[in-house]
Structure 1
Amino acid sequence: MPSAPPPFVPLPPAARILIVMMSAVGDAVHVLPVVTALKRHDPSIRITWVLQGGPASLVRGHPDVDEIVLFDRKGGWRAFAELRKALGGRRFDLVLDLQVYFKASIVTALADAPVKLGFDRGRARDWNWAVTNRKIPRRQPQHVQDQYFEFLDTLGVPDEPVEWKLGPWPHELDAQRAFFAKLERPAACLVIGSTHPEKEWVPERWAAVSDALWERYGLQPVIVGGTSEREMATERDILRLARHPVVSTLGVPFRELVGILQGSALTLSLDTGPMHISVALGTPTIALMGYINPKRTGPYRRFRDLLVDAYGYPGEDYPITIQKRLGRTRTITVEQVMGKVALWDRTYRR
């Protein structure tokens, strides 16, 4: 018996859409092509997006996002009360629940809309499936970006061309030019930190790569990222060990980071939000991945040839899964990374 076709949810003209995807900068980057596709399909659609502070600071000013409703994660239960107040008395035509965790379930339940679209029961965790009334049917495991495109499929909205429109915005260009005017060489961004220690690399190897970028390729290493304790410690080690100058911009706001990544010749990054930003901006990106499956969360479509894949063992054709592998990122060698830099030099260098 043939399987049933996927459900089709009619999208009314000038629909008022609430997007629920609150946390993780990388996930916010993956949601942007959904937003741009919806607006391309019908410019009269109004998009409201519930976001936490970090990703909100990245998305704020995006031409296809009409409104951001802030969710203060640190506020505990009070945050949900504030969100309920912000959404109170407002009716949406459609809720897109792209996040499958408990807090997203509460937000989706609070929203007033006749249609609440989410993932099937097998993929929706923490009772998330219980707060949606339209389900995307189960599919074969695929890249997270393609999973989000399943929402567009269900709505009958084409996902091509894939567009992020991350900027820099026009008013940000002066600051971008001022930053690069201070550098005497093309920049190579080093994204040295992540939210999970298993995704992180060895400071001594970062320092060795930094020196090789300077000596062999005439590049100025630029450290980018946040100000977590681990990032600050890694930064100190790199600055102490490197023989050549390294510029550090740790802690710059996300919108400034967009300008730095977009204007750089190359990005070398751990598996973290700025890696996805760099790929979305079209900056050649060498991703160092070992903890999480790169077929599921690695660079999307672009620069797959520059990926340093320590997740898979030599010769392994592993499937797309959510399984994590401990200790793999630290197996990456300086030689492996510099091999990808050489490939960038031959193939992508501008």
Structure 2
Amino acid sequence: MSAVGDAVHVLPVVTALKRHDPAIRITWILQGGPASLVRGHPDVDEIILFDRKGGWRAFADLRGKLGGRRFDVVLDLQVYFKASIVTALASAPVKLGFDRARARDWNWLVTNRKIPRRAPRHVQDQYFEFLDVLGVPSEPVEWRLGPYPHELDAQRAFFAGLRRPAVCLVIGSTHVEKEWLPERWAAVSDALWERYGLQPVIVGGRSAREVETEREILARAKHPIISTLGVPFRELVGILAGAALTLSLDTGPMHISVALGTPTIALMGYINPKRTGPYRRFHDLLIDAYGDPGEDYPISIQKRPGRTRRIAVEQVMEKVDLWDRAYRR
């Protein structure tokens, strides 16, 4: 119901349900961005599009799409107001959601079964609690994001035009506090070209801030950078899957890259990485500016402004050195 990263975290729940019982029919209510990523997934039977840009009319439209339909179970994996309304609109004898302590915006009022209360955990593990209640094993953790067979020709065509292995740079985010400075991106890009023989590829959306950041990076960089800003999510999957390395802010493409198994250097400072950082993979490549040196901070939703910009170019290059020794293939 919101960010692409959340949809990536839900996918292992979907794949586990189908693995447990292939006869289960899964209908997923999604906003436009996440829907474009998930569309075509082999374990998703139906997507109902929720157009939040339509304001209150979006809820009326959704009510019409759900009218007369009855589901066996509704999984309310999000705790925000709009998800609460959608859960209330869906007809089912079982509506499973988070406990009152973790629910927000009166979300607990629209569910009739609650996940038992637990201490804060990584978002992915919180979603797995739904599987625990349903008696469905979560292992092995699978995203099955592709690229799918019909997408391979486009992927091959993209990489055929490169003379060097690609390194993806995810330079933008939905929140300015998660972003890094353009001059540092440019310096890292040049070092990736000169020291490691990599072709920097800028990936992401075409928000005003991303376009401006890209303009500044290209103006400062000494070596060629390829831009793919604004490509559809399914094309982005192919690019991230074929890259040798991803450098990413704390945003949806970071989670996509990790899910695909592409070595990912995550630059995190504003949001707690123990809660929303790379899941199980590439923790040795994580740049954690959220905590102070030696700080054993707890998992929480607390945000720490100003931290991402503390990350120095040298810190990023140290992680690239580690990738070169441990992951490069």
Q: Find the counterpart in structure 1 of residue 219 from structure 2.
A: 240
Structure 2: tracts of 5 or more residues without a match:
none
Is residue 257 from structure 1 mapped to residue 252 from structure 2 by the alignment? no
Q: Does 1:337 align with 2:316?
A: yes
Q: How does 1:80-91 map to 2 (within 5 A)?
A: 80-91=59-70
TM-score with structure 1 setting the length: 0.94
Question: What is the CA-CA distance between 1:326 and the residue it aligns to?
Answer: 0.7
1:115 counterpart (94, 99, 103): 94
From 116, 121, 124, the equivalent of 1:137 is: 116
1:167 aligns with 2:161: no
1:62 pairs with 25, 33, 41, which one? 41
1:258 partner letter = V
Deviations 1:48-98 (A, max 9, x none): 000000000000000000000000000011100110010111100000000
1:122-201 to structure 2, matched below 5 A, reads 122-201=101-180
- How many residue pairs get matched? 329
Question: Separation in 2 of the partners of 1:288 and 1:46?
Answer: 38
Structure 2 residue aligned with 1:221: 200
Residue of structure 2 in register with 1:297 after alignment: 276
Aligned match of 1:40 in 19, 34, 37? 19
Match of 1:203 among 182, 195, 199: 182
Aligned mates of 2:200, 2:242 — CA distance in 1: 13
Corresponding position of 1:6: none
Match of 1:52 in 2: 31
Paired with 1:52 and 1:133, the residues of 2 have a C-alpha distance of 24
- Within the candidate set 274, 283, 303, 1:324 is matched to 303
Identity %: 87
For residue 137 of structure 1, report the CA deviation from its aligned partner: 1.3
Q: Equivalent residue of 2:74, what SS?
A: strand
TM, length-normalised to structure 2: 1.00
Offset of residue 125 of structure 1: 0.5
**Which residue of structure 1 lines up, in the alignment, with residue 74 of structure 2?**
95
Question: Which amino acid in the other structure matches residue 185 of structure 1?
Answer: R
* Match among 36, 47, 50 for residue 71 of structure 1: 50
| Partner Cα separation in structure 2 for residue 240 and residue 79 of structure 1 | 41
Give the aligned CA root-mean-square deviation in angstroms: 0.4
Distance in 1 (CA, whole Å) between partners of 2:303 and 2:56 is 31
Aligned-residue offset at 1:140? 1.0
What code does the residue aligned with 1:99 have?
Q
Displacement, 1:160? 0.2
* Gap runs ≥5 in structure 1: 1-21
Alignment partner for residue 310 of structure 1, among 280, 289, 300? 289
Describe the superposition over 1:126-177 as per-residue Cα deviations: whole angstroms up to 9, x where unpaired. Answer: 0100000000011011100000000000000000000000000111100000
The equivalent position to 1:279 in structure 2, one of 258, 270, 280, is: 258
Q: Which amino acid aligns with 1:128?
A: N
SS, match of residue 26 in structure 2 = strand
Q: Any runs of at least 4 consecutive aligned residues in structure 1 with deviations exceeding 4 A, and if so which?
A: none
How many angstroms apart in 2 are the aligned matches of 1:121 and 1:48?
25
1-structure distance, mates of 2:2, 2:46: 16
